[in-house]
Structure 1
Amino acid sequence: MKYLGVFILALLLWNCSEKKAELTILSEQDFNTTYKGEEVKLYTLENSNGLICQLTNFGARVVSLYTPNKDGNLGDVVVGYGTGDDFINKKENFFGAIIGRYGNRIGEGRFVIDETEYLLEKNDGANHLHGGSDGFHRQVWTVENQTGNEITFSLLSPDMAGGYPGNVQVQVKYQLTDANELEIEYFAETDKATVLNLTNHTYFNLKDAGKSSINDHKLTINADYYTPVDGGLIPTGELVAVAGTPFDFTSATAIGDRVDTEDDQLAKGKGYDHNWVLNVNNNEAVLAAKVEDPVSGRVMEVYTIEPGIQFYGGNFLDGTIEGKYGISVDFRGALCLETQHFPDSPNKPEFPSVKLLPGEKYHSLCIYKFK
């Protein structure tokens, strides 16, 4: 039996390599542009199984990720734009970007450290979102190192950039492993007390890169509680049990099964746009979520050392954006699973701390694993 298993694995890898020869990936030339005088480029990673990931230094973004379906055909599972100029000039939806300094929302665009109040841009109604309009997603990152399956981006965020204190040096390492994982590892240091909450904002559609809805994708989230929000999508500070609510994804459930249920929280987010409190976190990567597409047969697992995960169901996509391959990204045509500390943690002392002090080393890890 063990030889049969080896034979099947070899056959799958051979089939994947055959399908790869038929694949047309994004052109690196289409990303050769400049932003604020700095060169923007596209970089391509590949693992030994033939999986391909493409990234740009504009926002240190994931641009495309080609994985096999149940028939061995490689297809792109990432939704977004297909040229450097599109990322720069078209509507900003944070496609694939590293988010900082603070992933998610900070209430009223303010927080206090050691009795000093810091005021941030209110770019989401009365609140601050994703580091502001000129956050990490709108920066050209430096490429420090690149090999066939790994790349490291770095960025120096100066003191008071976006209203945040401290000179913060950030590194983000992407690795496409031979276990078919896209591993994202974050490192940072500061010279002044600050807050930091880094995440990745890749939009996924495991079926067809956004041509159709993700409502038939089956989702599991390893969380018994979530953080309900107010009308501005700022957590109230409560942890509420998911049991008996539309937020219960403790077993695999189609995303669309309950998304239109009459529920106050769903109404506030126009669907799912909430943070789940992960069950286990001992600073070791644990399974946070799992997505299964019944049509393509693709499965994506998400692992992290973070205490929370934001599930966003693409409720603010509206079909007005033309992305890669001429696809108009429609309502709920993509989903995000952003590993993170909780939204508005700087103003919620009961939440896990996001404070980073001089001499401390920030470290976070997110893994998207494909089967």
Structure 2
Amino acid sequence: MTKYQTLIPKHFEGTIEGKNTHLLLLKNEGGMQVLLTDYGARIVSILVPDNKGNLVDVALGFDSIQAYLDSDEKYHGCTAGRFANRIADGKFELNGKQYTLPQNNGNNCLHGGISGFHDKVWDRRVTYQSHVEFYYVSPDGEEGFPGNLKVMVSYTLTRNNEIIIKYHAQSDADTHINLTNHTYFNLDGEGSGDVLQQILQINSDEVLFVDDNQIPNAIVPVEGTAFDFRTPKPIVQDITANNEQLIAAKGYDHCYVNNQPISQPCATVYSKNTGIQLDVFTTEPGVQLYTANWMTGNDFGKRGYKYLPYAGFCLETQHFPDTPNQTEFPSTLLKAGESFDSETHFKFSIKK
């Protein structure tokens, strides 16, 4: 039986709402591998050489489609949409009409609703050794959003150990769109424990503070706060600070303002144990740092280890949460017939 490291492709063969699911492999000349599934157009594994030349899986996830369906955490590695992050009270107004969305996170609509893009089997039309494209058509009214929305997500693995993710979308009616990849990273290797000692730098001067419902209510300078990662520091350093934002969220779950061009990293993370460094580049105006604060311990990952709080971190490149209701934020409005395009790079290397 064929295996990709410890994953068995047959365990990813299933049928969801009449569509077949698969495990896909991208690889490059240096030995790096990225495994994906068309369920959620999601990353399953990222196998990166460490400082000893051994492949380390730095992405949290599961060893079968059924495990994804059964898990407490539905977003591992997925493409989140139509609208990633939160929309307050599950509603917004557009062109004089009120739209009502599922409230699947308290009073909020989170990551596109109960059956967002994470829960769909995407069509796969192009597959090469180092490139794959996923397509999905979200019908008008799906999860309450207007417009028939055609979406493409592509993943390319370069010879420089860089994963390039590109998004393209068009709608036949005005709508809001916010797409991100929701991979949980652990540069020590998935299932190896928490990420709290990994060294994080975020090249941002401002962060969005949130209210009791996790909805942004202020853009705040990071200077002098526990949210200042402009100088690299362990994730753990200030995570238990006496800060009401961190206490309410049980850690970091906040969107940083990104003013970096795509040629410069908006964030960098490094593991002293493996030597693996991750640099994140994006065209998006924000990056959400989430430290897996709410993982339950009920899910067991690919190597059989429990996923406890802080088992991974997300750097979700995106527009700001609740933008449809906050007109001062960079717009997420996609007008009928126009195109949405976005690009994010995850680049892996060994820290010198």
The two structures have a TM-score, normalised by structure 2, of 0.97
Q: Select the residue among 10, 22, 38 that pairs with 2:19.
A: 38
| 2:90 counterpart of 1:109 | yes
Q: Which residue of 1 aligns with 2:288?
A: 310
CA RMSD of aligned residues (A): 1.2
| Alignment correspondent of 1:265 | 245
Distance in 2 separating the partners of 1:160 and 1:27: 37
Shift in CA distance, 161/23, structure 1 to aligned 2, threshold 3 Å:
closer
Deviations 1:222-259 (A, max 9, x none): 100001000111001x2100010000000111000110
Q: Is 1:365 the equivalent of 2:346?
A: no
From 30, 48, 63, the equivalent of 1:67 is 48
Deviation at residue 123 of structure 1 after TM alignment: 0.5
Contact 2:26/2:129 (<8 A) preserved: yes
- Uncovered stretches (5+) of structure 1, i.e. residues with no partner: 1-21
Instruction: Identify which of 57, 64, 74 aligns with 2:38.
Output: 57
Quote how far apart the aligned CAs of 1:279 are. 2.5
Aligned partner of residue 78 in structure 1, secondary structure: coil
Q: Which residue of 1 aligns with 2:221?
A: 241
SS in 1 for 2:36: strand
Q: Percent identity?
A: 39
In structure 2, the CA distance between the partners of 1:39 and 1:295, relative to structure 1 (3 Å rule), is same
Runs of 4+ in 1 over 6 A off after TM superposition: none
Mapped contact 2:74–2:118 kept (Cα < 8 A): no
Counterparts of 2:74 and 2:187 in 1: how far apart (Å)?
Answer: 19
Correspondence list, 1:68-87, <5 A: 68-87=49-68
In 2, Cα distance between equivalents of 1:92 and 1:205: 16
Which of the residues 186, 211, 221 maps onto 2:202?
221
> Do 2:31 and 2:49's aligned partners in 1 also have CA atoms closer than 8 Å?
no
Counterpart position of 1:350: 328
* TM-aligned CA deviation for residue 137 of structure 1: 0.3
Alpha-carbon distance, 1:285 to partner: 4.5
Q: 2:172·2:336 contact (CA, 8 Å) conserved in 1?
A: yes
Please name the residue that 1:255 is paired with.
235
Residues 210 and 201 (structure 1), Cα distance of their counterparts in 2 relative to 1, 3 Å cut: same
Structure 2 partner of 1:179: 160
Partners of 1:268 and 1:349 lie apart in 2 by: 26
Superposition deviation, residue 343 in structure 1: 0.3
Which residue of structure 2 aligns with residue 127 of structure 1? 108
**Aligned positions of 1:135-146 closer than 5 A:** 135-146=116-127
Q: Secondary structure at the match of 2:236?
A: helix
Classify 1:285/1:116 alpha carbon distance in 2 versus 1 (closer, same or farther; 3 Å). Answer: farther
- Retained in 2: the 8 A contact 1:309–1:339? yes
1:331 is displaced (CA, Å) by 1.3
Encode CA deviations 1:2-57: one digit per residue, 9 max, x unaligned. Answer: xxxxxxxxxxxxxxxxxxxx982411111111112211110001011110000000
Could you tell me which of 300, 304, 308 is aligned with 2:278?
300
2:84 pairs with 1:100: no
Amino acid corresponding to residue 301 of structure 1 in structure 2: D
Q: Give the distance between the partners of 1:268 and 1:163, measured in 2 at CA.
A: 29
SS at match of 2:118: helix
| Structure 2 partner of 1:168 | 149
Q: Tell me whether 207-216 or 302-311 shows the greater mean CA deviation.
A: 207-216
Kindly indicate whether the alpha-carbon contact (under 8 Å) linking 1:219 and 1:292 is maintained by their aligned counterparts in 2.
yes
Contact 1:35-1:88 within 8 A present in 2 as well: no
The code of the aligned residue for 1:208 comes to G
Residue type at the aligned position of 2:122: W
The yes-or-no answer on 1:291 pairing with 2:269 is yes
State the match for 1:232 in structure 2: 213
> Which segments of 5 or more consecutive residues in structure 2 lack a partner in the other structure?
none
Cα pair 1:285 1:365 within 8 Å, conserved: no
The question of whether the paired residues in 1 share the 8 Å contact of 2:78 and 2:118 is answered with yes
CA distance in 2, matches of 1:91, 1:261: 28
Deviation at 1:88, TM superposition (A): 1.9
CA distance in structure 2 between the aligned counterparts of 1:90 and 1:240, rounded to whole angstroms: 35
- Considering fraction of residues, name the structure with more helix: 1
Q: Is the 8 A contact 1:210 1:330 kept in 2?
A: no
